[in-house]
Structure 1
Amino acid sequence: MTGPTASEVPPPTMAVKIISAGVAACVADAITFPLDTAKVRLQIQGECPTSTAPKYKGVLGTITTLVKTEGPVKLYSGLPAGFQRQISSASLRIGLYDTVQEYFTTGKESSLGNKISAGLTTGCVAVFIGQPTEVVKVRLQAQSHLYGPKPRYTGTYNAYRIIATTEGLTGLWKGTTPNLARNVIINCTELVTYDLMKEALVKNQILADDVPCHVVSAVIAGFCTTVLSSPVDVVKTRFVNSTPGQYPSVPNCAMTMFTKEGPSAFFKGLVPSFLRLGSWNVIMFVCFEQLKRELMKSRQTVDCAT
């Protein structure tokens, strides 16, 4: 936000960035979660052996089929785990990005290498902390009562308990390797692209540092991120959702997909992925930027009052 008030607002603290990122990510998740569920269903389509399984076609087709066959509530299956994921993961990978970038910069002007290093660092930390929430979210989104075996879980905390007791604590970190690759790609592409676009638009006076600038930067970041992360995202979803022993390893999962379904399998759900990630980025970054400013304004008001 430009103008007199913008210059008066002090830079956000690390705590403000972390809180703003967590809240903004939860808001974005609540709005875009049906698209994420549609993406997961499209990504796992083709691995179910039963011919009675619903056939999903496109984003709207998948959402419509889910609503007709399993009810509208199914679109939000796994949302509590989604919120837990954003609070434990997105708050750190986004909220700590500027702070870590400053650490790598050490007084000099920030370079592309510093931005990428910051994205790699915060992305890795976020994955190891938030992986259990990712496993539960994906499994709840993927399971259906319409075909195959009885659904494995009745709810979020039931899923945590069953996974921990039947697969061990390591089961909650299943798929960490592909999710690490996915999150590193997403974090670096998403945050670095957004950072560079926002910087270029403001520096060249194309747009002011306000909502339109944040929206344009977020859409471009979302598109680049979706294309680059799709293959590892599909493999991650398949491997995380698999039953014990279905895939001996992540490479085996990828190879099975390639031999049975061809290269196009790695881009299943690409459209809902972009619709979800693009809209998620717009909502999250706009909320993130506004929350940071409002929190710092409130803090400044409190400081002045005292």
Structure 2
Amino acid sequence: MAVKKEKPLHSLIAGATAGGIEAFSTYPTEFVKTRSQFSGKKQGAISIIKETLKTKGVAGLYSGCTALIVGNSTKAGVRFVCYDHFKHMLADPQGKVSAPRSLLAGLGAGMMEAIFAVTPSETIKTKLIDDAKGPNPQYRGLIHGTTQIVKQEGIRGIYRGLFPVMMRQGANSAVRFTTYSTLKQFVQGTARPGQNLPSSITFGIGAVAGLVTVYTTMPLDVIKTRMQSLQARQQYRNSFHCAYRIFTEEGLLRFWSGTTPRLARLVLSGGITFSVYEKVIDLINGRDVLS
């Protein structure tokens, strides 16, 4: 099946909208996942939620949320624009994209979003969450926190963990887009020509793509979180040293800490992001969106 090329501006608008809605909707799971990956005592998801609600209230579950919404909107916009661009660069003369080429397009899109959007927003979000768990937080919000991080550590301070973020985002996008595109093409192949897929089907395909993504990229996510924590400079020389210490001191399974909340988020994320993206694209292009 030949793929249709969307206009970059349309992909950017639809992707940014989908990213912002997804980030806010699923943020508590991201908060719990990040907290569970810090070094120190191991805590389960329920324990973290209870402790946070007791000490910080519901607002505590949204510490660092603004940073993720801004970053996620930018990330999703960059992701869809770059993926669409790379996908059509790699398409064959008939306009078809094989699974390996879709994987390569997703990898390229992931690398671009890591550099331009994900690393700064994830670093700030992680530091805000890490800071908020103490009794006397030093950061008063996104703007103040960003200003202080840059003042104390320079621009490098918001680009900590760039390598694991690039690896994670590249793997995330490669796995997610390849799984989504493959399943979507399979389902469309069984539908009537020209028929739009119902939102429920799009959501389901996106959710499966999120599920596959979680288990294949979890170790990179744990390393990324550790490298962006407040204590990273004192504990780890680089990403490889971080991975070595986690493996030797905490065991192999520690690389999958935070899997449950991340799984909850990415399954919902995949469904929400692809569903909203497809609907916004349909609205922009004036297609029938009631199916």
Normalising by the residue count of structure 2, what TM-score does the alignment of the two structures yield? 0.90
Residue type at the aligned position of 2:246: M
Residue of structure 2 equivalent to 1:28? 22
Match of 1:203 in 2: 189
Written as runs of structure 1 = structure 2, the 5 A alignment for 1:176-187 is 176-187=162-173
Aligned-pair identity (%): 24
Deviates more, 1:216-225 or 1:164-173: 164-173
2:115 aligned residue (123, 128, 143): 128
Aligned counterpart, 1:263: 252
Name the aligned partner's letter for residue 238 of structure 1: R
1:13 maps to 7
Q: Which amino acid is the alignment partner of residue 77 of structure 1?
A: S
Is 1:112 matched with 2:99? yes
Could you give the per-residue CA deviations for residues 22-70 of structure 1, whole angstroms, max 9, x where no partner exists? 11110011110000000001111xx23xxxx7x6323x44323211122
In structure 2, the partner of 1:285 is 274
Checking the alignment, whether the CA contact within 8 Å between 2:82 and 2:108 is kept in structure 1 is no
Match of 1:155 among 141, 144, 150: 141
Question: Please, which moves more after superposition, 173-182 or 156-165?
Answer: 156-165
2:229 is matched with which residue?
Answer: 241
Secondary structure of the corresponding residue to residue 105 of structure 1? coil
In 1, Cα distance between the equivalents of 2:247 and 2:259?
Answer: 16
**1:229 counterpart residue number:** 217
Shift of 1:145: 4.8
**Superposition pairs for residues 60-71 of structure 1, below 5 Å?**
60-71=46-57
Shift of 1:103: 1.3
Cα distance in structure 1, aligned partners of 2:138 and 2:168: 26
Change (3 A) 1:247 1:152: farther
Tell which deviates more after alignment, 117-126 or 207-216.
Answer: 207-216
Q: Which structure has the larger Rg? A: 1
Q: Which amino acid aligns with 2:54?
A: K
**Partner SS, residue 292 of structure 1:** helix
Displacement of 1:11: 6.6
1:80 partner amino acid: T
Inter-partner Cα distance in structure 1 for 2:122 and 2:256:
20
Answer yes or no: is the 8 Å Cα contact 1:201–1:208 preserved in 2: no
Paired AA for residue 172 in structure 2 = I
AA in 1 matched with 2:141: G
**CA distance in structure 2 between the partners assigned to 1:66 and 1:12 by the alignment:** 43
Aligned with 1:164: secondary structure?
helix
One-letter amino acid matched to 1:204: T
| 154-163 or 266-275, larger mean C-alpha shift | 154-163
Q: After TM superposition, which residue ranges in structure 1, 4 or more long, deviate above 6 angstroms? A: none
- Letter of the 1:278 partner, please give it: V
Report the CA distance between 1:106 and its aligned residue: 5.1
Matches for 1:9-88 after TM superposition, within 5 Å = 12-44=6-38, 47-48=39-40, 56-58=43-45, 60-88=46-74
What SS class does the counterpart of residue 248 from structure 1 fall into?
coil
Measured after TM superposition, the shift of residue 254 of structure 1 is 1.1
* Counterpart secondary structure, 2:234: coil
Cα distance in 1, alignment partners of residues 14 and 50 from structure 2: 33
* Corresponding letter in the other structure for 2:213: T
Given residue 26 of structure 2, which amino acid in structure 1 is its aligned partner?
T
2:73 & 2:264 partners in 1: Cα distance?
22
TM-score (norm 1): 0.85
2:47 and 2:279 map into 1 onto residues whose CA distance is 35
Corresponding position of 2:130: 142
* Alignment CA distance shift 1:258-1:242 (3 Å): farther
How many pairs align?
Answer: 279
Contact 2:18 2:76 in 1 (8 A): no
Unaligned runs of 5+ in 2: none
Kept in 2, the 8 Å contact 1:56–1:65? The answer is: no
